[in-house]
Amino acid sequence: MKALVLSGGMGLRLRPFSHSLPKQLIPLANKPVLVHVIEALKALDVTEIGIVVGERPEKIAAVLGDGAELGVRLTYIQQDEPLGLAHCVAIARDFLGDDDFVMYLGDNVLTNGVVEMAREFRARRPTAQLVVHQVADPRAFGVAEVDEDGRVLRLVEKPEDPASDLALVGVYFFTPAIHEAVAAIGASARGELEITDAIQWLVESGADVQARTYTGYWKDAGRIDDVLACNRELLDGIKPCVDGEVDAESELIGAVVVEAGARIVRSQIIGPAVVGAGALIEGSSIGPHTSIGEDCLLRGTEVSDTIVLARASVEGVRSIRGSVIGREASVTAASADGSHRLIVGDHASVEVAA
Summarize pLDDT for 177-195 with one digit per residue, the tens: 999 999 999 988 888 899 9
For position 228, what pLDDT does the model report?
92
69: confidence class by pLDDT, cuts 50, 70, 90: very high
Are 109 and 219 contacting, i.e. CB atoms less than 8 angstroms apart?
yes
Percentage with pLDDT > 90 across the chain = 68
Where on the phi/psi map is residue 67: left (φ > 0), alpha (ψ -120 to 50), or beta?
left
For position 54, what pLDDT does the model report?
85
CA distances from 79 to 91, 92, 108, 179, 202 (A): 8, 9, 19, 17, 25
Residue 53 has pLDDT above 90, yes or no: yes
Q: Which domains does the chain have, with CATH numbers?
A: 2-232 (3.90.550.10), 238-332 (2.160.10.10)
pTM of the entire predicted model: 0.89
Residue 334 has pLDDT above 80, yes or no: no
Mean pLDDT over each residue of the chain, to the nearest integer? 89
pLDDT in tens, 96-110: 999 999 999 988 899
Taking residues 317-340, what's their average pLDDT?
Answer: 77
For position 14, what pLDDT does the model report?
54
* Cα–Cα distance for residue pair 229/274, rounded to 1 Å: 15
